[in-house]
Chains A and B, each alone.
Chain A
Amino acid sequence: MSKETVLTAPAPDLVDSRVAELAQGPTWLKWIQIAGLVYLLLVAVSLIGGGFKLAAGDHARELFAFASNPVAGLVVGTVATALIQSSSTVTSIIVGLVAGGLPVGIAIPMVMGANIGTTITNTIVSLGHVRRGEEFRRAFSAATIHDFFNILCVLIFLPLEIMFGLLERLGGWASSYLVGAESLSMKGLNFIKPIVKPPVEFIKTALAGLPVELSGGIMIALGVLAIFVVITFIGKLLKSIMVGRAKQILHSAVGHGPLSGIASGTVVTVLVQSSSTTTSLVVPLAGSGVFSLRQVYPFTLGANIGTCITALLAATAITGPNAVFALQIALVHLFYNVLGVVVIYSVPFLRELPIKGAEKLADVAVGNKLVALAYIGGIFFLVPFLLIGLSNWMLG
């Protein structure tokens, strides 16, 4: 499967130049391109769902048995997102896999991990300030506050999930309500099926001569590649279109307190369809000292909520008996992020932890850049794998 991905993946330079070409041109044309890309996203998610169903059959649970250890699922989500640098891509792929039969319970820690993995982007952006000591301290803390918040969120909600299945129950309840209700139902969104089905069926038919597992694998690879391309292009296009609107929203949030910060972070992320764009934006704003760490903190939390829109959009691509599960995992993503913000930000003690953690780390990192390197390598790659080993040892 990875071979196909490698063979079909365009070179990064080629993607960048195509993206640059797309980001120019009249606005109406960009909107048409965005509509086309959204359509491609829906097809891609449906392709992954169909492919996974073909490849795994009734053995989806066995195929992901390694991730039945929640820590392993968390690590898969973290590392995959840190490598791809897009939580929207990873959560959309997860929605597709759930549609193909991956149990929601296994997917939930992956979604939590995607939240952690996505924070690597703004940390890398903050490294641009490394030559200017005080500026680097402010920029690095503005970037890592998001990491500390997301790690705290996992520390609170993963045990609750393991013990009580809190998010799975909440998502299950809400998705059955939405699928069952006539007014706002997935049945109501069934217009998606006729437009998404033809290309998926076309690809399925084209691969009909191959063994079922192989054609399923190829469909998954094509779907993953398409999601990656769509999210990259759509992000660039929306950035160029929405920068003016984002400015307006930020201007209106100045001096209006944390709730306004959370709301503006949410809306800006929905507009640009990328939490890492939103959280990276605040790095130079904080680095220059114009915005304080406490002022950018709510804005980054809003990014966590706003990013859920992509998985919800991806879930609308799924029809049939698994639609309810695809919607469930997308809603779990939303509930997890909303509850995380509500619980952590409303409890003063918890609210202060990410601030203190980010400040302390930045204080150390500004004097010793090796700490910054060890932090990035450790938190996104080394610690996750150590955690898998530790949890397997404890469980086994």
Chain B
Amino acid sequence: MSAKRRELEQKIGEMEAALAQLKQQLNQAVAEEQHESIDHLDDHLQEMDHKWENIRDFWPIVVQEFRDRFGKK
């Protein structure tokens, strides 16, 4: 086996190990974010109680978009 080949194999091995470690760190960071978001479940539940306000906010945007698309220029 040539030295160059050994060197390349070693580099790939190191990179794969580093990649696996990064993936693990990413998974951990994602899980942490998810746990943190779940901790705010009460706030999300409150959002449900204001769902009619969502329609009130949504309506002017739709009307504006309708005017932009179909209104007289």
CB–CB B51/A121 < 8 A: yes
Contacts of A369 in B (CB 8 A): 58, 61-62, 65
Question: Which of B34, B42, B54 is within 8 Å of A290, CB to CB?
Answer: B34
Contact of A373 with B by CB under 8 A: yes
Ranked 6 nearest A-B pairs via Cβ:
A128-B54, A127-B54, A127-B58, A290-B37, A250-B38, A284-B44
A372 to B59, CA, bound (A): 11
CB–CB B55/A284 < 8 A: no
Question: Which of B35, B61, B69 is within 8 Å of A251, CB to CB?
Answer: B35
Known pairs A277-B45, A370-B62, A370-B69; A128 contacts B38 (CB<8 A): no
Return A91 CB to nearest CB of chain B, in Å: 20
A206 to B58, CA, bound (A): 48
Known pairs A128-B50, A255-B27, A369-B62; A291 contacts B37 (CB<8 A): yes
Known pairs A250-B41, A251-B38; A130 contacts B61 (CB<8 A): yes
Name the interface residues of A363-396: CB closer than 8 Å to any CB of B: 368-370, 372-373
Contact of B48 with A by CB under 8 A: yes
Contact of B9 with A by CB under 8 A: no
Residue of A whose beta carbon sits closest to that of B48: A280
Contact of A9 with B by CB under 8 A: no
Contacts of B38 in A (CB 8 A): 247, 250-251, 254, 285
- Contact residues on A (Cβ < 8 Å of other chain), bracket: 20 to 34
- 24 A–B pairs (Cβ distance < 8 Å), ordered by A: A124-B51, A124-B54, A125-B54, A126-B54, A127-B58, A128-B47, A128-B51, A131-B61, A243-B41, A243-B42, A251-B35, A251-B38, A255-B27, A255-B34, A277-B45, A277-B48, A284-B43, A284-B47, A285-B44, A290-B33, A290-B36, A290-B37, A373-B58, A373-B62
Contacts of A138 in B (CB 8 A): none
Contacts of B37 in A (CB 8 A): 285, 288, 290-291
Contact of B39 with A by CB under 8 A: yes
Contacts of B66 in A (CB 8 A): 370
A291 to B41, CA, bound (A): 13
A324 to B40, CA, bound (A): 43
Return A375 CB to nearest CB of chain B, in Å: 12
Return A266 CB to nearest CB of chain B, in Å: 17
Residue of B whose beta carbon sits closest to that of A129: B54
Contact of B22 with A by CB under 8 A: no
Residue of A whose beta carbon sits closest to that of B33: A290
Contacts of A284 in B (CB 8 A): 43-44, 47
Contact of A333 with B by CB under 8 A: no
Contacts of A255 in B (CB 8 A): 27, 31, 34
Contacts of A247 in B (CB 8 A): 38-39, 41
Contacts of B65 in A (CB 8 A): 368-370
A373 to B59, CA, bound (A): 9
Residue of A whose beta carbon sits closest to that of B50: A128
Residue of A whose beta carbon sits closest to that of B64: A369
A125 to B45, CA, bound (A): 10
Name the interface residues of A91-139: CB closer than 8 Å to any CB of B: 121, 124-128, 130-131
A380 to B31, CA, bound (A): 36
Return B22 CB to nearest CB of chain A, in Å: 17
Return A244 CB to nearest CB of chain B, in Å: 9
A369 to B52, CA, bound (A): 17
Contact of B7 with A by CB under 8 A: no
A375 to B51, CA, bound (A): 17
Contact of A246 with B by CB under 8 A: yes
Residue of A whose beta carbon sits closest to that of B66: A370
Contacts of B41 in A (CB 8 A): 243, 246-247, 250, 281
Contact of A239 with B by CB under 8 A: yes
